[in-house]
Amino acid sequence: MVKEAVKNLKPYVPELTLEQLKKQKGLDKLVRMSANENAYGTSADVAKALDKWHYRDANLYPDSNADELREIIASQFDINADKLIFGNGLDEIIELLSRVILEPGDEVLDPAPTFSEYALHAEIEGAKIKSVGLDDSGRIDLKAMARSISSKTKMIWICNPNNPTGTFLEADAIRAFVEDVPEAITVIVDEAYIDFTGGIHDSVIQLTKEFKNLVVLRTFSKAYGLANFRVGFAVCSDPLIGYLQAARLPYNLSTFAEIAATAAFKDQSFVDNTVKKVIAERKKWEHFLIKAGLPFYDSATNFIFFQVKGGDADALHEYLLENGYLLRNGLRKDWLRVTIGRPEDNQAVQKLIADYLA
Ligand SMILES: *Cc1c(COP(=O)(O)O)cnc(C)c1O
């Protein structure tokens, strides 16, 4: 009835809405610090742009090419506009790449731990995922990944910075890695969190001009604060971009999503401000974790992954939830991931953790 590969799938368990969870737990107030959303909201320009939309156009299909959004992104990154493909969130691009590239029996490399969608879609296509452990500092181990390449390898995922560890690889390291990967293997660098590094030369988008087998992914869901609108994109070269365009759904972005993303992209000062605040709060989190004696990885993102050393991560997770704060557990035994929130929420969670450990 269904294809062999999907029979044993474990479905993605999405976050409950805040309202659902509040009701379930009997809470008046609940702050989600588990999904890496932008704690500082969305650019005010987004609402202004959406207000101008004419609802009488609701019967018309959206612009399949997302031309306005395409043009401003291409000009900002100084790339050919034809190198861009948009998705209903980056999730859709991850699915599309897997669907277009993979056949049953192919091998896919990803780091471990990393974003779970890479493995899910490899599995749906009947491919085999080979996960490669991180190095001692929690960074993606490019040498070990290179050693894991076989004649069956078709795709390599590099999440940079990596979710859930938050660790970051310099562009030069990725360049050296891609140089050694055979051209028949597609290397995908997921830069969902690249804005939060604070560096301006950290992206490898420019390397797509040099390497035809390199794909770079971006999303509007994190630093741009648009998770609800579902907009992500890939930068890649011929001939892969043509195959992706041929296989994608023709109207995967609503006009609403395109307007919102365009307005958000134009307001880089909102992104800059978000990043500044996140970096300042991230430093306070690091300071707190050191003082509390809890090991963590150096994060270049809007979240921190830490070990509940000497305690029980699930119990701490529940204690924080009962006090109105939701963190992410279940990614690694004894570890929790916290999204950098607003200053008052970070402080409150830190105090709760300190009380719990005392
Ligand atoms: C959040 C996230 C995405 C998905 O982003 P959407 O555009 O919201 O689908 C992709 N990759 C990583 C690593 C993420 O953390």
Report the separation in Å between the CA atom of 356 and the middle of ligand 1, taken as the mean of its atom positions: 31
Whether residues 16 and 121 share a domain: the answer is no
The ligand 1 atom at the shortest distance from the C-alpha of residue 87 is 7
Nearest to 306 by CA among 349, 264, 256: 349
Same domain, 88 and 221: yes
232 Cβ inside 6 Å of ligand 1: yes
Examine residue 239 and say whether the peptide bond preceding it is cis (omega within 30 degrees of 0).
Answer: yes
The predicted-structure confidence for 37-68, as pLDDT tens digits, reads as follows 999 999 999 999 999 998 888 999 999 999 99
List strand residue ranges (DSSP E) for 182-228, in order.
186-190, 214-219
Q: Report how far ligand 1's centroid is from the alpha carbon of 315 (Å).
A: 27
Contact between 336 and 308 (Cβ < 8 Å): yes
Residue 352: its pLDDT value, please? 98
Q: Is 159 in the pocket of ligand 1 (CB under 6 A)?
A: yes
Q: State if residue 345 touches ligand 1 by the CB under 6 angstroms criterion.
A: no
Pocket flag, ligand 1, residue 308 (CB < 6 Å): no
Question: Ligand 1 within 6 A of 96 CB?
Answer: no
Please write the tens of the pLDDT for every residue from 122-166: 999 999 999 999 998 899 999 999 999 999 999 999 999 999 999
The SS3 of residue 331 is: coil
Residues 91 and 237 in one domain: yes
**Whole-angstrom Cα distance, residue 305 to residue 80?**
37
CA–CA gap between residue 190 and residue 119 (Å, rounded) = 14
**pLDDT cut 70: percent of the chain above it:** 100
Ligand 1 midpoint to CA 187 (Å): 17
* CATH code for the domain of 350: 3.90.1150.10
pLDDT at 173 over 90: yes
What Rg do the C-alpha atoms of the chain give, in angstroms?
21
Question: How high is the pLDDT of residue 63?
Answer: 95
CA of 90 to the centre of ligand 1 (A): 6
Q: Is the CB of 219 under 6 A from ligand 1?
A: yes
Please tell me the predicted confidence (pLDDT) of residue 1. 85
Residue with tokens 């290179």: 146
Burial of residue 262 (number of CB atoms within 10 Å: 0-12, 13-18, 19+): buried
pLDDT in tens, 197-207: 988 889 999 99
- CA dist., res. 72 & res. 231, Å (int): 15
CA of 220 to the centre of ligand 1 (A): 9
Beta strands in the chain (DSSP E): 31-32, 84-88, 107-112, 128-133, 153-159, 186-190, 214-219, 231-235, 303-307, 325-326, 335-339
DSSP-derived pairing of the beta strands 303-307 and 335-339: antiparallel
Identify whether residues 134 and 36 lie together within a single domain. Answer: no
Q: pLDDT band for position 92 (50/70/90)?
A: very high
Which of 121, 140, 163 has the most ligand 1 atoms within 8 A of CB, as the residue to mutate? 163
Domain end residue (candidates: 267, 289, 319): 267
Kindly tell me if the per-residue pLDDT of 276 is higher than 90.
Answer: yes
Based on the fold, state whether residues 223 and 257 are members of the same structural domain: yes
- In whole angstroms, what is the distance from residue 299 CA to residue 136 CA? 14
Q: Are residues 57 and 100 in the same domain?
A: yes
Give the phi and the psi of residue 237 in degrees, each rounded to 5. Answer: -105, 175
pLDDT value at residue 13: 75
Query: Using a 6 Å cutoff on CB, does residue 233 contact ligand 1?
Result: no
Q: How far apart are alpha carbons 202 and 193 in whole angstroms?
A: 11
Nearest CA to ligand 1 atom 11: 192
Q: Is 302 in the pocket of ligand 1 (CB under 6 A)?
A: no
How far separated are the first and last CA of the chain, in Å rounded? 55
Give the CATH number of the domain where residue 144 resides: 3.40.640.10
Coil, strand or helix at 85: strand
pLDDT in tens, 213-261: 999 999 999 999 999 999 999 999 999 999 999 999 999 999 999 999 9
Report which protein residue has its CA nearest ligand 1's atom 2: 192
Q: Is there a single domain that holds both residue 262 and residue 144?
A: yes
Distance (angstroms) between ligand 1 centre and the Cα of 219 equals 6
Question: Domain count of the chain?
Answer: 2
How high is the mean pLDDT of the chain? 96
- Tell me, using a 6 A CB cutoff, whether residue 34 lines ligand 1: no
Within this chain, do residues 9 and 68 fall inside the same structural domain, yes or no? no
| 92's tokens | 């859709």
Kindly give the distance from the C-alpha atom of residue 93 to the centroid of ligand 1, in angstroms, as a whole number: 10
Domain that holds residue 201: 45-267
Of 243, 267, 291, which marks where a domain is finished?
A: 267
171 and 106 co-located in one domain:
yes
| DSSP-H helix ranges across 181-249 | 240-247
Considering the entire predicted model, what is its pTM?
0.96
The Å distance, Cα 261 to ligand 1 centre, comes to 15
| Consecutive H or E run containing 84 | strand 84-88
122 and 262 within one domain: yes
Q: Is the CB of 192 under 6 A from ligand 1?
A: yes
From 90, 194, 230, the mutation candidate for ligand 1 (largest count of ligand atoms within 8 A of CB) is 90
Whose alpha carbon is nearest atom 12 of ligand 1?
Answer: 192
Looking at the CA of residue 35, tell me the nearest atom of ligand 1.
1
From 267, 299, 319, the end of a domain falls on: 267
What amino acid occupies position 29?
K
134 shares its domain with 193:
yes
Query: Does 59 lie in the same domain as 14?
Result: no
CA of 34 to the centre of ligand 1 (A): 13
